[in-house]
Amino acid sequence: MEPEDKPRSMHIRERSNNGILERLDAGEVVVGDGGYVLQLERRGYVKAGHWTPEAAVEHPEAVRQLHREFLRAGADVMQTFTFYCSEDKLELSGNINDAACNLAREVADEGGALVAGGVSQTPCYVQSHNETEVKAIFKKQMDNFLKKDIDFLIVEYFEHVEEAVWAVEVLKTSGKTVAATLCIAPQGDRHRVPPGECAVRLVKAGADIVGINCHLDPMTCVRTVKLMKEGLEKAGLKAHLMIQPLGFHTPECNLGGYVSLPEYPFALETRAMTRWDIHKYAREAYNAGIRYIGGCCGFEPYHIRAIAEELATERGFLPPASEKHGLWGAALEMHTKPWVRARAHREYWENLLPASGRPKCPSMATPANDGLTEK
């Protein structure tokens, strides 16, 4: 049955009440949420450069609303808005962690979603490479999460697999399920440790779910997860696969990812993915064996809805937001203009080559550097 023919009765099915591993073990598709820091920066609640999540305390209504939009779009997981919220980065990290957990739980409970507490790379790793110091930071964050009884933990946005392994080792002591995602390219991490080897290290450290997030476009991230999968298979190891890429086109990017692009961070709109790009990404990820599929920076609620709609047959239901969206443009059949009505079908949108409307702009940019680490 084609998506545009799915009965609207699919909306009434409730989400699973199982935990993250139970869902994945059963073969369910888990849809992640989208990006927070870039979205909230654009809305006036986060400062670019610092990229820390004070908004959870200063403007909880803004964070709550974005959570709700992702939930309505089909997300099964609400990640706490705690990106880059380690003590060595932000003095108020404890208060922000608490507030972020409360907001995520409040919204997750409105729709049967799970809450994931996330830790990310620390400034002190690059500065000192002191394992004891770095692990102490992760433990403090973990302890805050455990007080709030989050459902599982995510190690995300790590450029160095060594630091991610340290984070997994700490978070695994919690007894909670641990997912670990790296923001690396197919060439490997900042020290060019190959994706397959990175995955093996993470699983041996205790990660139950491994994958890629941020830094690069969806199809590039799918390629990298495939390499991780190959590495695990060669090592005889098993883990669930996860992906939460950028919502931007980054074909010319290097190991440094999109932060090396001249458009970062204030002119990325020209690179934005369409909802139809995301349909293709969701199908590619699913066909690669990835079952936790979401997004990171640049992923807005309508992108998450596109994932949920593309995989509606596999999931058995559509999200509430699809009530206001004709699948594959079907609602355009009501348009008064005949040439717009003619676009109310899947073939049109699948084959569209969007124009930028910027005649003097190049199709590609020159990244700032090769992305190699200085240390």
Is residue 214 annotated as involved in ligand binding? yes
A 10 A CB-CB count for 88 gives 16
Torsion over CA: 163, 164, 167, 172 (sign): negative
289: left (phi over 0), alpha (psi -120 to 50) or beta: left
Q: Cβ(322)–Cβ(309) under 8 Å?
A: yes
Question: Phi and psi at residue 30, in whole multiples of 5°?
Answer: -100, 120
Cα–Cα separations (whole angstroms), residue 1 to 4, 6, 74, 242: 8, 7, 20, 27
Cα–Cα separations (whole angstroms), residue 125 to 129, 132, 167: 5, 10, 11
Q: Cβ(163)–Cβ(122) under 8 Å?
A: yes
What is the residue type of 339?
W
Cα–Cα separations (whole angstroms), residue 367 to 212, 250, 256, 262, 299: 21, 10, 9, 7, 22
Is residue 221 annotated as involved in ligand binding? no
Per the annotation, binding residues for Zn(2+) are: 214, 296-297
Per the annotation, binding residues are: 214, 296-297
